[in-house]
Amino acid sequence: MALTSWKAFRFFDVSQVRLPGGDGSVSLDQGSVSCVTAGPSNIFVGTPSGTVHLLDQTFKPARSWRAHDASVTHVKQVPDTSYLLTLSEDLSHEPELKVWSLDQTEKKSGQPKCLSSIIVQNGRKNFPVTGFTVTSDLAQLAVGFANGAVTVVRGDFVHDRGTKQRTVFESEEPITGLEFREANSTSLYIATTSHVRALAITGKAQGTPARTLDEHGCAVGCMTLDPHSNEIIVARDDAIYTYGPRGKAASYAYEGAKKLVSVSKDYVLIVSPPKSNFTTAAALRAFGGTQAEDILNSSSFTVLNTDLKFIAHSEALSNQVNSILSIWGDIFLLTSDGKLYRYHEKTFQQKLEILYRLNLFVLAISLAQKYKINAVQQNVIFRRYGDYLYQKGDYDTAMQQYLRAIDNTEPSQIIRKFLDNQHLHNLIEYLEGLHEEGKATSDHTTLLLNCYAKLKDVDKLEAFIKQPGELKFDLDTAIVMCRQGGYYDQAAFLARRHNEHGLVVDILIEDLKKYAEAMAYIVRLDPKDAYQNIMKYGTVLLEYCPLEATQLFIDYFTGQYRPRKDAVIVQEAPAQQESGGFGTAAKSAVQNLAALIPLPSMSMITAASDGQGAMTNQTQVVETTSPGDFTEYEVAKPRVAFSAFIDHPDQFVTFLEALIDSEDVKAEQKTELYTTLFEIYLHQASSSRAEEKTEWERKARQLIEAKNVPIDTSNVLLLSDLEKFRDGTILVSERQGLRFDVFRSYTTAHDTKGAIRALHKYGPDEPQLYPAALAYLTSSPQILQEAGDEVEAVLKKIDEDGLMAPLQVIQTLSTNAVATMGLVKHYLSLTAKRERDDIAANRRLIASYRSDTAQKAQDIADLASSPVSFSATRCSSCGMTLDLPTVHFLCKHSFHQRCLGIMDGREAEEEAECPVCAPQISAVRQIRRAQEDSAGRHEVFRDALGRSGDRWATVAEWFGRGILGGGGGQ
């Protein structure tokens, strides 16, 4: 690339150095100086008289000493050391080389200590030295001569232990430059007027002839080493060339004669003599006078940045330049008239301002990157470049710059520029960059997804949400925006990817209406997540997936829930068998779900096909759950699931029956299950008809009739009453012995057949049912007709067991006009006949009592007035023959006196009683005493009379007890 195409700038401020005058100062004009070079901290000046001066930053000599007897033509300080090498020559002797230590002094003179001094040999040929270089370890140095010879000196220069010299190169062309290139091996680059060669000094190639790198050479002073790149730089009239270990590395076209080349920092420094030919020079001398001489003596100085391809500084000087010095961060040019010019580089910010004015943002960016300016400053350049491009209408390139400055730019400043519809793709690019750098907020995510939706760019949307690695956007915002935009599959994918299982199910159910897929997803969750979702969406799932949802409830609440696991098998199949992709080929909910999002606990298995021809992938989801897989979890109480079965009674019944039959449900929880199941049975029966109603009632009855059913009696009664389930009420009443209540429930419901059945069942144990049955059966003509012959049977039972007095029966039947005389004719005839028989029997009994009473009275009278003869011969006690003393009783019983245990005496005999008749007499006395006692207890009589069904019989009984006698009359 020609330098004419490079941008030229003035990145250096130029000023002439005011050199100190007076005694002790050093003149730098061409006649006073034989060589000038720069070290790390001093400028070294060699004079024709052999003196060396060390100039400090004030350009005053800090040290001066006579180093040689002849002119000092070359001075070089070994980098990073205090060693200084000086070379002196005159054409009458071979050059003299000395090594000095700047930090050591001679005690007598105070001059730097000379470590060693040698004569550089050139085959005893006195030619001027045209090249001089030394290695960084001061182990070798090379000297080139105008006759084309190069001498390499090796040895211990510091301790002066001897050196060895060898002429390593000879040429018919004069040596114009020497440089050591040190790397894994050391090479000596040799420049002549027509060639550039490399000679291996160390390494495997040592001893081999010099290798020609270029068939063109250079002038003296036009070859140098770039310490940063470790490349050799050669300046020729046509261009500037760089050489590396493999030869020519790069070239930069720059036509014109070259006088000097040097390197400072990243710059290549070129000094060129004026461009003129001989004719022009003669004309100028003839007509121009002094001004013509100035033009002829002028030089041009150029500072090149070869990496970035620009000219940092360029100017013409009125005098020839003798030396280029780089020290103290500046560049110095020494002209032949002894003037020194300082070139101070502008600050980086000043350079940027120059580039900004010229709109050279690309170069500004390259410059910042080369000098490794901090990211904040680089981003400022990017942003300004972006603004420039935006104003020019190059929005795409402007966005690229804004993206590069994304770290230190307020996003709103950029977003506002691209909000119109024409620049949506640029806005998307910037928002994607914000997310990529992790600088996006929820608002940025919302805006990005809105842009995708507006452009209907599903591919980008999917690429955004499915990007691998860590999440780079607000998850909740992205899911909400996808759902609002109708991208439900993408929202479900996001939720699944980040294990938001509740959101996945919500999207499948609420948005996609994929109930089977939601069911398939839930059964693959761990117990905790599965429970939360079935409790939230149980009612909906029971509506659309009743069998699967019911089974899921059963499995979970019996403690048998096991998450399903799947393997996605990808097989290769012939292309002609492909059926439109995974999503369309799936025939089951699991297949569809696997096409939408990755299932939980899913693994991939790939199987290769042996078929020939074009192949494509087919995917199949296979369950791999093993019976042993089980995650223990705490089962919630079954009642928490009851609300999910609202409006799904059939599934509720299945659920309750399964839990009741399960041995894994705790016994204390089954009471509620039984009660709820009984209620559902009754509810189903009340809402069903005909055979279904009968079946539900049969189940309800069977449930409460079973043994050890833990249903509270009050609940059975309440539910039976609410649902009008009489069998439940009856069963409870039976269990509690409330038979009369059972009968009354039938009569209240006007269930005549049921009442008759209850009468037959409970009548033998509950006689009071018959009077009640009589009243019910004769309560209406319809009931009487339904009863048939049962009324007569009831009357017969009442009559046989004396459950009611005839008058009570008549009163019962007379309460309404239902019963007829024909109905009770037989009963009345039998009652009258029985009454007549009772009267006759009573009369006979009275006559008998009267006869007996008269006979007793006669016997008493006879005993009181007539003697009594005793004919008994044996003792009524021991059965032995009576002997004296004997005791006879009026009851005709006779006893030995000893058998009665009567002592002698009249009173004892009078108080004696017949042992045989004494018990009967005692009982009669007790009865009589009781009658006398009760005769005075009128309140007991009144109570018995009030409770009696036959008051006449009660009065007769108490009359016989003597209540109307004189024992206690009122």
Give one DSSP letter per residue of 294-319, joined into a string: HHHH-EEEEEEETTTTEEEEEEEESS
Running DSSP on this structure, what letter comes out for residue 420?
A: S
Residue 386 has pLDDT above 70, yes or no: yes
pLDDT of residue 2: 61
CA dist 718 and 715 (Å) reads 5
List all residues 6 or more positions away from 889 whose beta carbon is below 8 Å from its beta carbon.
895, 913, 914, 917
Measured distance between the N- and C-terminal CA atoms of the chain, rounded to whole angstroms: 158
Bridge-partner residues for 269, per DSSP? Answer: 262, 303
CA dist 164 and 230 (Å) reads 27
What mean pLDDT do residues 918-941 have?
A: 76
**Residue bearing the bigger pLDDT, 849 or 294:** 849
Q: pLDDT tier at 616 (50, 70, 90 boundaries)?
A: very low
Span of 61-65, 519-523, 593-597, 667-671 with lowest mean pLDDT:
593-597
Residue 26 has pLDDT above 70, yes or no: yes
SS3 (DSSP) at 40: coil
**Residue bearing the bigger pLDDT, 690 or 342:** 342
Structure tokens at 16: 């002439």
CA dist 360 and 367 (Å) reads 11
Residue 581 has pLDDT above 60, yes or no: no
Q: pLDDT tier at 574 (50, 70, 90 boundaries)?
A: very low
Q: pLDDT tier at 820 (50, 70, 90 boundaries)?
A: low
Bridge-partner residues for 315, per DSSP? Answer: 301
778: exposed, middle or buried (C-beta count within 10 Å: 0-12, 13-18, 19+)? buried
Structure tokens at 348: 């980086």
Residue 61 has pLDDT above 50, yes or no: yes
Residue 894: phi, psi to the nearest 5? -125, 145
Percent helix, strand and coil across the chain, each to the nearest 5: 45, 20, 35
CA dist 695 and 682 (Å) reads 10
What mean pLDDT do residues 517-539 have?
A: 90
CA dist 674 and 680 (Å) reads 10
Q: pLDDT tier at 346 (50, 70, 90 boundaries)?
A: very high
- Report pLDDT digits (tens) over 265-303: 889 999 998 765 444 444 444 444 444 454 556 789 999
Mean pLDDT, the chain, integer: 81
- Report pLDDT digits (tens) over 825-842: 777 777 788 788 888 988
3-state secondary structure 624-691: CCCCCCCCCCCCCCHHHHHHHHCCCHHHHHHHHHHHHHCCCCCHHHHHHHHHHHHHHHHHHHHCCCHH
The 10 Å Cβ neighbour count of residue 840 is 10
pLDDT of residue 795: 74
954: exposed, middle or buried (C-beta count within 10 Å: 0-12, 13-18, 19+)? middle
pLDDT of residue 461: 79
CB 816 within 8 A of CB 779: yes
Q: pLDDT tier at 630 (50, 70, 90 boundaries)?
A: low
- Report pLDDT digits (tens) over 697-747: 787 677 666 667 666 666 655 665 666 665 555 555 555 545 556 666 667
CB 873 within 8 A of CB 886: no
pLDDT of residue 676: 84
What mean pLDDT do residues 233-260 have?
A: 90
Q: Give the chain's radius of gyration (CA, Å).
A: 68
Residue 488: phi, psi to the nearest 5? -70, -40
Smallest Cα–Cα separation from 232: which of 272, 265, 273, 187? 187
CA dist 309 and 280 (Å) reads 33
Residue 262 has pLDDT above 80, yes or no: yes
Dihedral sign for Cα atoms in the order 756, 761, 765, 766: negative
Adjacency order of strands within the sheet including 299-305: 7-8, 310-317, 299-305, 267-272, 260-264
Q: pLDDT tier at 573 (50, 70, 90 boundaries)?
A: very low
Running DSSP on this structure, what letter comes out for residue 945?
A: H
List all residues 6 or more positions away from 631 whose beta carbon is below 8 Å from its beta carbon.
526, 527, 562, 563
Structure tokens at 101: 């230590």
pLDDT of residue 579: 39
What are the angstrom distances between the C-alpha of 112 and each of 7, 56, 115, 791? 47, 16, 9, 156
Q: pLDDT tier at 823 (50, 70, 90 boundaries)?
A: low
pLDDT of residue 278: 40
Highest-pLDDT range among 197-201, 493-497, 891-895: 197-201
Dihedral sign for Cα atoms in the order 160, 164, 169, 172: positive
Q: pLDDT tier at 343 (50, 70, 90 boundaries)?
A: very high
pLDDT of residue 607: 42
Residue 655 has pLDDT above 50, yes or no: yes
pLDDT of residue 10: 94
**Amino acid making up residue 51:** T
What mean pLDDT do residues 623-650 have?
A: 78
Bridge-partner residues for 605, per DSSP? Answer: 569
CB 866 within 8 A of CB 873: no
Diameter of the chain measured on Cα atoms: 221
For 326-339, b/e burial (b = at least 16 CB within 10 A) is: bbbebbbbbbbebb
CA 562 to chain centroid: 21
pTM greater than 0.75:
no
What mean pLDDT do residues 491-511 have?
A: 87
CA dist 371 and 29 (Å) reads 37
What mean pLDDT do residues 921-932 have?
A: 78
CA 558 to chain centroid: 28
Highest-pLDDT range among 498-502, 567-571, 741-745: 498-502
DSSP 549-612: HHHHHHHHHTT------EEEEEEEEEGGG--S-HHHH--SHHHHHHHHSPPTTEEEEEE-----
Residue 566 has pLDDT above 70, yes or no: no
pLDDT of residue 462: 78
Residue 249: phi, psi to the nearest 5? -105, -45
CA dist 779 and 494 (Å) reads 77
Residue 932 has pLDDT above 60, yes or no: yes
Q: pLDDT tier at 604 (50, 70, 90 boundaries)?
A: very low
Residue 683 has pLDDT above 70, yes or no: yes
Specify the length of the chain in residues.
970
What are the angstrom distances between the C-alpha of 460 and each of 428, 448, 449, 696? 10, 10, 10, 59
Span of 313-327, 438-452, 544-558 with lowest mean pLDDT:
438-452
Q: pLDDT tier at 613 (50, 70, 90 boundaries)?
A: very low
Structure tokens at 882: 């009576």
The H-or-E segment that residue 248 falls in is strand 247-253
CA dist 126 and 571 (Å) reads 88
CA dist 213 and 246 (Å) reads 8
CB 563 within 8 A of CB 552: no
List all residues 6 or more positions away from 242 whose beta carbon is below 8 Å from its beta carbon.
226, 229, 231, 232, 233, 234, 248, 249, 250, 251, 306
**Residue bearing the bigger pLDDT, 391 or 669:** 391
Residue 307: phi, psi to the nearest 5? -70, -45
pLDDT of residue 347: 93
**Residue bearing the bigger pLDDT, 915 or 765:** 915
CB 717 within 8 A of CB 743: no
- Report pLDDT digits (tens) over 127-169: 999 999 999 999 999 999 999 999 999 999 998 888 899 999 9
CA dist 960 and 704 (Å) reads 55
What mean pLDDT do residues 784-808 have?
A: 71
Residue 948 has pLDDT above 80, yes or no: no
CA dist 668 and 660 (Å) reads 11
The 10 Å Cβ neighbour count of residue 154 is 15
CB 876 within 8 A of CB 888: no
pLDDT of residue 612: 44
Span of 508-512, 641-645, 914-918 with lowest mean pLDDT:
914-918
What mean pLDDT do residues 604-623 have?
A: 47
pLDDT of residue 35: 92
Residue 970 has pLDDT above 60, yes or no: no
Q: Can you tell me which residue has the tokens 């060396």?
A: 52
What mean pLDDT do residues 100-105 have?
A: 91
CA dihedral 415, 419, 421, 424 (to 10 degrees): 10
Highest-pLDDT range among 6-20, 419-433, 493-507, 604-618: 6-20
CA dist 472 and 448 (Å) reads 13
CB 133 within 8 A of CB 142: yes
